[in-house]
Amino acid sequence: MLERKIEQARNELRQIAAEYGADNISVAWTGGKDSTVTLHLWKDILAELGVERVTALNIDTGCKFPEVLHQRDCLAQDWGIDLTIVRPEVDMADYPVAQDKVTCCADLKVEPLSRGVRQQDIEVLLTGIRKDEHPDRDRPMREQRERPDCLMMHPVLNFSEMDIWAYTMQYNLPYCPLYDSGYRSLGCVPCTKPCGGLGSEAGERAGRDSDKEAKMDMLRSLGYF
In a domain, 220, yes or no: no
What percentage of the chain has pLDDT greater than the value 70?
Answer: 89
151 within 8 A of 142, measured Cβ to Cβ: yes
Report residue 67: phi and psi, to 5°.
Answer: -65, -35
Task: Please tell me the predicted confidence (pLDDT) of residue 72.
Answer: 98
Grouping H, G, I as helix, E, B as strand and the rest as coil, residue 186 is coil
Instruction: Domain of residue 158: give its range.
Output: 2-176
Give pLDDT tens digits for 186-214.
999 998 988 765 555 556 655 455 565 55
More confident residue, 139 or 114: 114
Task: Please tell me the predicted confidence (pLDDT) of residue 66.
Answer: 97
Task: Please tell me the predicted confidence (pLDDT) of residue 224.
Answer: 76
* Ramachandran bin of 70, using left for φ above 0, alpha for ψ from -120 to 50, beta for the remaining angles: alpha
Give pLDDT tens digits for 67-121.
999 999 999 999 999 999 999 999 988 899 988 888 999 999 999 999 999 999 9
In a domain, 196, yes or no: no
| 140-143-149 Cα angle (round to 5) | 170
Instruction: State the total domains in the chain.
Output: 1
Task: Please tell me the predicted confidence (pLDDT) of residue 221.
Answer: 74
- If you average pLDDT over every residue of the chain, what do you get? 91
In a domain, 208, yes or no: no
Give pLDDT tens digits for 169-186.
999 999 999 999 999 999
27 within 8 A of 57, measured Cβ to Cβ: yes
CA distances from 208 to 16, 72, 143, 168, 217 (A): 32, 20, 25, 22, 15
In a domain, 54, yes or no: yes
Give the torsion sign (CA, 144, 147, 150, 155).
negative
29 within 8 A of 125, measured Cβ to Cβ: no
In a domain, 195, yes or no: no
In a domain, 9, yes or no: yes
CATH number where 37 lies:
3.40.50.620
Mean pLDDT score, 49-76: 97
In a domain, 211, yes or no: no
In a domain, 201, yes or no: no
